[in-house]
Structure 1
Amino acid sequence: MDLEKLKAQLMSRIDTDDLLEVKKVERYIELLKLDSQCDEVLARDGSTVTIENGKQRFVKSHPAMTDKTKINTQLIALEKSFNFVDEGLPPAASTVEGKSKEEYSEDDLI
């Protein structure tokens, strides 16, 4: 993933005079970098680790798996908190099969 492009895209969608929103974008990018590092560790080590304690031996999930879950939770929270400005963006499509909310009925549901 090209994080610089993503950062530029996010920055273009926020009020860059709002320092809190700028900080959210920076935090979001840093979390994505951490997530990528976890991916590299998991690719190298695998998703499980074997623990040996004396004669005991057991397998547990890699600590990076827990970290990825925490990072994902933070990313989702940040995504929900962004205050995007609508300038220059096309309106979000809120249609089902080309119909607006007013045009579809219960019969359209499966």
Structure 2
Amino acid sequence: MTSPRAERGAATVTACLALTALLAATLLFVQVGVVIVARHRVQAVADLGALAAAGALTAETDACARARDLGQRMRVRVRSCTVVGWDVTVVAEVTASLGPLGTPDVRAVARAGPVEEHDK
């Protein structure tokens, strides 16, 4: 049988290990949240940029300039904007900063244009 003196500090070590694990899990959840927020932001820019460009197709201005302007205002890069007929496709990208875990690029694609009617 061990004496109570030999087990002194065991609870402190266990508590420190549990606290370290809790901090690591919290950091992981925060980093996942950063990527999710970046994904929503870049998807919003792609969607709104495609709609803005499609809305500007009838004007005498550059339709893709509106998508790029929107991306610039929301601090997201518009990688490409393609106009084919009345369809506009926008590809947007942003870099999410995860600190020591890296900096992944988050990309989204959106299309805006008329809906094709199918025969019934």
Looking at CA atoms only, which structure, 1 or 2, has the larger radius of gyration?
2
TM range, smaller chain: 0.3 to 0.5
Structure with bigger strand share is 2
Question: By percentage of residues, which structure has more helix?
Answer: 1
